Structure 1
């Protein structure tokens, strides 16, 4: 999501293309917090102008995503994945598993961990 909102390079264009191709997006409730944290860290590190970060956060708030909180089933799936990936990343994988959805990520480590678990992975290119 960070690339889709804030990047004008080919990665950003690829991310926006993947998002535009499917009108239904699912994410764990912590996703927008992670995205905002990334923007804030870039502002503090002087890699991103604060005014641009405001624009990107506003765009994030306007993005149509269905956010899913954790329930017993999702927590059990996250726990089951604990040997492969972090709990935060496992929430994305568990949602993809539960809904038969593809996991869209630029994170190669996450993609490599999710594929053997039977989750379809899309790395925008």
Structure 2
């Protein structure tokens, strides 16, 4: 089965060894994401490192895990039109995840509680 994963869920698995429910949900899934997922995740890790929330070593380990995550990445162009259509109610980044989930008829796995409430989105959104 396929699922789309966003940066918040990816980071939850990478940073929290106790993310059991989420990790269990992802077992056996072919994970897909827009190509910007790694950039978005690394930006969060950079902010956490710079704020002292992660040590440099923890941040480096997390970056390596993000880069090694087994994801099928999709170019933004493949979802741009639909992301634009959802963009009145979501960031372009979030709209791209929703658009990809719609395109694949797959659920979006996220840690972001606002995504299921985006008006006009036509996909299942599972919040962990």
Q: TM-score, normalised by structure 2?
A: 0.85
Corresponding pairs, count: 119
Tell me how large the CA RMSD over aligned residues is: 1.5
Which runs of 5 or more structure 2 residues have no equivalent in the other structure? 1-9
Counterpart-to-counterpart distance in 2, 1:4 and 1:122: 15
Which of the two has greater helix per residue?
A: 1
Aligned pair 1:25/2:34, yes or no?
no
Query: Partner residue of 1:6?
Result: 15
> What is the aligned counterpart of 1:102 among 104, 107, 110?
107
Which of the two has greater strand per residue?
A: 2
Q: TM-score, normalised by structure 1?
A: 0.87
Counterpart-to-counterpart distance in 2, 1:79 and 1:62: 29
Aligned pair 1:41/2:50, yes or no?
no
